[in-house]
A and B are shown apart, each in its own frame.
Chain A
Amino acid sequence: MSSVPHDLVVGGHPHAHDDHAHHPKGIMRWITTTNHKDIGTLYLWFSFTMFLVGGVMALTIRAELFQPGLQIVQPEFFNSMTTLHGLIMIFGALMPGAVGFANWLIPMQIGAPDMAFARMNNWSFWLLPPAAIMLLLSLFVPGGAASGGWTMYPPLTVQSGMGMDLTIFAVHIMGASSIMGSINIVTTILNLRAPGMTLMKMPLFCWTWLITAYLLIAVMPVLAGAVTMLLTDRHFGTSFFNAAGGGDPVLFQHVFWFFGHPEVYIIILPAFGIISEIIPSFSRKPLFGYASMVYAVAAIAILSFLVWAHHMFTTGMPAASILFYMYATMLIAVPTGVKVFNWLATMWKGAISLEAPMLFALGFLFLFVVGGFTGLILAIQPIDIQFQDTYYVVAHFHYVMVAGTLFAFFGGAYYWLPKWTGHMYNEKLADWHFWLSFIFFNVAFFPMHFLGLAGMPRRIPDYAQQFTDWNMVSTIGAFGFGLSQLVFLTAVVKCIRGGAPAPAKPWEGATTLEWTLPSPAPYHTFETPPVVK
């Protein structure tokens, strides 16, 4: 690693201690590490592990839904699977995945030596495994794991057993981890930028994370409050959500979705950031409208606080509230459109090449827009009456979460793997991974639109026979999609173990600071900040 020619290390004096000699070896390296690259790696592997665990749960759900009738699991366990699948994918796979990218890339993209609070960084990661273990252990306690859906609506969740308490504590811990991670990211971006790197010169990935971190700091405490009230309703005789005691069950939904809707953007904004790095690189052209992209992200973030009740269109709200939330939700289409048009204009008249990162970025664009349009359709309240709590909604959010965020993560992984490992990944494997994922994703999730239209509710373990055909197709697609991810695992492991050596800048059109560092990036980088003109 330290054998890289010194002139490639922009701004950093390659010190004698600028290598890996100073950290403990073996497991202690990972437990005690305060290095942003190590912690980024930990986050990414944790995220991928949780992705596989949540994936197995998804396949359990799909296997049960292959045919009408109860074949494989009982309803109570089925409900636990849908609940844990949601919680694990959101809090275990997608959010930590995004933090993993942030840890690896933000310091290198702004020319900082590390994250601002290196020790807190270690702590925010190491909170996650205990939380995940608590969630998984809850499957084995009396009464089983939480089964009231990831949205945890009372009074149903007040009825359930101690699995629910474990879930509440796990959510508390993961929330604390997110808040610490966010404070770290905000502080790093605002204080550790290299001289000359003004905010409006930052790579878009840093911008999207800066805004995401503010969203997290604003809403994670709200979620913590909601689940704490749930906990006291369950055990200490309070009646926040109990109508018989003067409470209101719908209050929980308001508080939950005040967290839950910004949460959707917390998950998608870093993905926007990754896509905004990949598309210019492989079009060999700068982003068309940098400033308007930044403003669009900010606009989306602000609007995300004003639309939560569109998740509650069937609770029976007055017409005035429905109209307000419907208009506000529709308005989000405007900044989202600005982003999509900007990505297109960036590609327009570029010199496009289709390596795996770009394939995933295009797959993202294509499918995210499908999810965006179904989101617009769902925003129209009269239509939402028919779609609320059906498979149409399930299709919608998997188009934005899986084909959106997850595809962006895959694209980002291939894009930065050369920088992380020092080796090029195997393009053929990566292309296979893309095409298999793209095809099977659509086989799995597109039919869910039809199921929702035809009237199949979500979260049911068994269904009427007119829904059989599309459920079979969907199950086949889901298994195909799940197995395709083993190709990804293979590609990543092969890339870590070897492969063609990666140059400092393997992508012709890449312009951000991390590409001025050698590949693999040395353990310590930018100890002396580079100067940005």
Chain B
Amino acid sequence: MVVNRMTGTQRWHWRIAAALSFFASTGAWAAWEWNFQPAVTPLAREIVSLHGLIFWICVVIFVGVFGTMFYSLFKHRKSIGHQAVQFHENTTVEIVWTVIPFLILLFMAYPATKTILAAHDTSSPDMTIKITGYQWKWGYDYLQDGFGYYSQLATPLAQIEGRAPKNENYLLEVDNPLVVPVDAKVRVLVTANDVIHAWWVPALGVKQDAIPGFVRDVWFRADKVGTYRGQCAELCGKEHGFMPIVVEVKSKEDYAKWAGEQKQKLQAAADDPNKVWDLKALVAHGEQVFNGNCAACHQANGSGNTALGAPPLVSDKVVLGPVQHQIDVVLNGQNNGKMPPWKHLSDVDIASVISYTRNSWGNKASEGVVQPSEVKAERK
């Protein structure tokens, strides 16, 4: 390779040039972002204007204070022969610079208080969605319509590891976005399954910690159709940086159509556990499930990560052994939760992922096909 024949200095030049060209190329998308993302809810807009007000008050005070300081620095210098005037203590001055800041604070507190009280009014929502944080994905349940699904990172590992060019929405893209209708008061109930997460979409002005064992509610009313992106905002472990949030705000009609489709899918899925799947379909679906849930520890190639207590799955005793035992391990976990329980996955998901492990990376288990009905039976 050419690079190998370069001298040390040349290699550095090459690297700097590469870094610079990368730097320049970033101009292609919205680069040098330095302010709030465009707000699409009344609350988010109020936050922007509140921030503007307080920011500019601070700037004015800052300029005043440091204007005085720099004046003093230039005029009252020993080097230009200024003699120190030995004054100190003045109660009037002290009172003035205590009271005036206090009044300014009152002026700031008033609009902030109004916004807080408005933000806490979660009454009479048009719809309610339950959001659950998982390590490391989000679960969305539409409580009135009875359907729900998981939403996880869609950026391929190759892009994260620099083996493929990055998408426009690198790390901010998911398989199943949250879908809501425009101009509707959406109340979200936020909770978590394992550790604390935080559901944050800047354009909506919503950030709510997702706390296991507790349900918190917040609301938003998006008034513009579009796709809005956010991220988990509370450190939740290794993949914390890789559980984005995408919210699609659809027109009322589009939303109704989408919700109808979801209900149909729900109908279809309800029949699933007893349907007999063929191996190919199971393995194909299983690969998706594996990469979304298992690969973080066991690795996409099944090689495992012993530091995390995740053994390699290639030629693994459990994977090649009796099906029932493997279903039990996946459902209930083992090693004190190092392998966590995956009960919340559907029978189809678990059957597929087990079939996938039994037929991948050179594994050829004697009992290669696991049907959803077997998982269902094991749950009892």
Tell whether, in the assembled complex, residue A351 and residue B238 are in contact, meaning their CB atoms are under 8 Å apart.
Answer: no
Chain B positions 14-28 with a Cβ under 8 Å from a chain A Cβ: 19, 22-23, 26
Take A344-B69, A351-B76 as given contacts and tell me if A464 and B170 are in contact as well, using a CB distance cutoff of 8 Å: yes
Q: How many A-B residue pairs have CB under 8 A?
A: 302
Chain A positions 245-293 with a Cβ under 8 Å from a chain B Cβ: 248-250, 283-292
Stretch in contact with the other chain, from A207-215, A322-330, A513-521: A322-330
B104-126 to A contact mask, C-beta < 8 Å, 1/0: 01001100110111011000000
State how many angstroms separate the Cβ of A141 from the closest Cβ of chain B.
11
Tell whether, in the assembled complex, residue A351 and residue B77 are in contact, meaning their CB atoms are under 8 Å apart.
Answer: yes
Does A427 lie at the interface of the complex (its beta carbon under 8 Å from any beta carbon of B)? no
Does A381 lie at the interface of the complex (its beta carbon under 8 Å from any beta carbon of B)? yes
Q: Which residues of B contact A341 (CB under 8 A)?
A: 65, 97
Take A284-B78, A462-B171 as given contacts and tell me if A334 and B84 are in contact as well, using a CB distance cutoff of 8 Å: no
Q: Which residues of B contact A462 (CB under 8 A)?
A: 160, 171, 241-242
Chain A positions 385-404 with a Cβ under 8 Å from a chain B Cβ: 385-386, 388-390
Chain B positions 85-112 with a Cβ under 8 Å from a chain A Cβ: 85-90, 93-94, 97-98, 101-102, 105, 108-109, 112
Say which residue of A148, A250, A326 sits within 8 Å of B112 (CB atoms): A326
**Interface of B: prevailing SS:** mixed
Tell whether, in the assembled complex, residue A156 and residue B195 are in contact, meaning their CB atoms are under 8 Å apart.
Answer: yes
Q: Which residues of A contact B307 (CB under 8 A)?
A: 76, 142-144
Say which residue of A318, A350, A466 sits within 8 Å of B29 (CB atoms): A466
Does A16 lie at the interface of the complex (its beta carbon under 8 Å from any beta carbon of B)? no
Q: Which residues of B contact A467 (CB under 8 A)?
A: 33
Compute how far the CA of A387 lies from the CA of B135 in the bound complex, rounded to whole angstroms: 23
How many chain B residues touch A (CB < 8 A): the figure is 106
Q: Which residues of A contact B26 (CB under 8 A)?
A: 465, 468-469
Compute how far the CA of A326 lies from the CA of B55 in the bound complex, rounded to whole angstroms: 17
Tell whether, in the assembled complex, residue A468 and residue B31 are in contact, meaning their CB atoms are under 8 Å apart.
Answer: yes
Say which residue of A148, A289, A365, A454 sits within 8 Å of B35 (CB atoms): A454
**9 closest Cβ pairs, A-B complex:** A243-B213, A460-B241, A316-B216, A450-B34, A454-B33, A351-B78, A373-B58, A351-B84, A349-B85
Tell whether, in the assembled complex, residue B97 and residue A337 are in contact, meaning their CB atoms are under 8 Å apart.
Answer: yes
Tell whether, in the assembled complex, residue A382 and residue B116 are in contact, meaning their CB atoms are under 8 Å apart.
Answer: yes
A285-320 to B contact mask, C-beta < 8 Å, 1/0: 111111110000000000000000000001110110
Compute how far the CA of A470 lies from the CA of B23 in the bound complex, rounded to whole angstroms: 10
Stretch in contact with the other chain, from A67-75, A97-105, A127-135: A67-75
Say which residue of A284, A330, A461 sits within 8 Å of B241 (CB atoms): A461
Tell whether, in the assembled complex, residue A331 and residue B105 are in contact, meaning their CB atoms are under 8 Å apart.
Answer: yes
State how many angstroms separate the Cβ of A209 from the closest Cβ of chain B.
22
Compute how far the CA of A147 lies from the CA of B182 in the bound complex, rounded to whole angstroms: 40
Q: For residue A459, which residue of chain B has the nearest CB?
A: B235
Tell whether, in the assembled complex, residue B97 and residue A149 are in contact, meaning their CB atoms are under 8 Å apart.
Answer: no
Q: Which residues of A contact B241 (CB under 8 A)?
A: 75, 457, 459-463
Tell whether, in the assembled complex, residue A380 and residue B54 are in contact, meaning their CB atoms are under 8 Å apart.
Answer: yes
Q: What's the interface size class on A, roughly? A: 35 or more
State how many angstroms separate the Cβ of B320 from the closest Cβ of chain A.
27
Take A249-B211, A350-B84 as given contacts and tell me if A383 and B51 are in contact as well, using a CB distance cutoff of 8 Å: yes
Say which residue of A67, A315, A365, A454 sits within 8 Å of B69 (CB atoms): A365
Does A432 lie at the interface of the complex (its beta carbon under 8 Å from any beta carbon of B)? no
State how many angstroms separate the Cβ of B29 from the closest Cβ of chain A.
6
Compute how far the CA of A242 lies from the CA of B212 in the bound complex, rounded to whole angstroms: 8
Compute how far the CA of A459 lies from the CA of B233 in the bound complex, rounded to whole angstroms: 9
Take A337-B101, A353-B77, A462-B241 as given contacts and tell me if A469 and B47 are in contact as well, using a CB distance cutoff of 8 Å: no
Say which residue of B19, B30, B50, B200 sits within 8 Å of A466 (CB atoms): B30
Take A352-B76, A466-B30 as given contacts and tell me if A334 and B196 are in contact as well, using a CB distance cutoff of 8 Å: no
Tell whether, in the assembled complex, residue B211 and residue A382 are in contact, meaning their CB atoms are under 8 Å apart.
Answer: no
Q: Which residues of B contact A457 (CB under 8 A)?
A: 200, 231-233, 241
Compute how far the CA of A284 lies from the CA of B46 in the bound complex, rounded to whole angstroms: 48
Say which residue of A159, A338, A450, A455 sits within 8 Å of B97 (CB atoms): A338
Say which residue of A68, A144, A323, A330 sits within 8 Å of B166 (CB atoms): A68
Add 19 more A-B contacts to A154-B195, A386-B36, A386-B47 (CB < 8 A). A70-B160, A75-B239, A143-B309, A148-B235, A155-B195, A249-B196, A284-B84, A286-B86, A288-B87, A316-B190, A333-B105, A338-B97, A347-B72, A348-B68, A351-B76, A362-B73, A454-B33, A457-B232, A460-B241
Does A472 lie at the interface of the complex (its beta carbon under 8 Å from any beta carbon of B)? yes
Q: Which residues of B contact A148 (CB under 8 A)?
A: 235, 237
Take A289-B89, A352-B77, A465-B26 as given contacts and tell me if A319 and B236 are in contact as well, using a CB distance cutoff of 8 Å: no
Compute how far the CA of A323 lies from the CA of B194 in the bound complex, rounded to whole angstroms: 30
Tell whether, in the assembled complex, residue B37 and residue A156 are in contact, meaning their CB atoms are under 8 Å apart.
Answer: no
Does A153 lie at the interface of the complex (its beta carbon under 8 Å from any beta carbon of B)? yes
Chain B positions 46-88 with a Cβ under 8 Å from a chain A Cβ: 46-47, 50-51, 54-55, 58, 61-62, 65-66, 68-69, 72-73, 76-79, 82-88
Does A345 lie at the interface of the complex (its beta carbon under 8 Å from any beta carbon of B)? yes
B162-193 to A contact mask, C-beta < 8 Å, 1/0: 10001011111000000000000000001000
Does B202 lie at the interface of the complex (its beta carbon under 8 Å from any beta carbon of A)? yes
Say which residue of B89, B105, B168 sits within 8 Å of A288 (CB atoms): B89
Tell whether, in the assembled complex, residue B36 and residue A149 are in contact, meaning their CB atoms are under 8 Å apart.
Answer: no
State how many angstroms separate the Cβ of A245 from the closest Cβ of chain B.
9
Tell whether, in the assembled complex, residue B22 and residue A156 are in contact, meaning their CB atoms are under 8 Å apart.
Answer: no
Does A200 lie at the interface of the complex (its beta carbon under 8 Å from any beta carbon of B)? no
State how many angstroms separate the Cβ of B277 from the closest Cβ of chain A.
34
Chain A positions 450-489 with a Cβ under 8 Å from a chain B Cβ: 450, 453-455, 457, 459-470, 472
Q: Which residues of A contact B47 (CB under 8 A)?
A: 382-383, 385-386
B193-228 to A contact mask, C-beta < 8 Å, 1/0: 011101010100111110111101110000000000
Does A376 lie at the interface of the complex (its beta carbon under 8 Å from any beta carbon of B)? yes
A–B pairs, 20, beta carbons within 8 Å: A69-B159, A333-B101, A334-B102, A337-B98, A348-B68, A352-B77, A377-B54, A380-B108, A380-B112, A382-B43, A382-B112, A385-B206, A386-B47, A386-B205, A454-B36, A461-B241, A464-B169, A465-B166, A466-B29, A469-B31
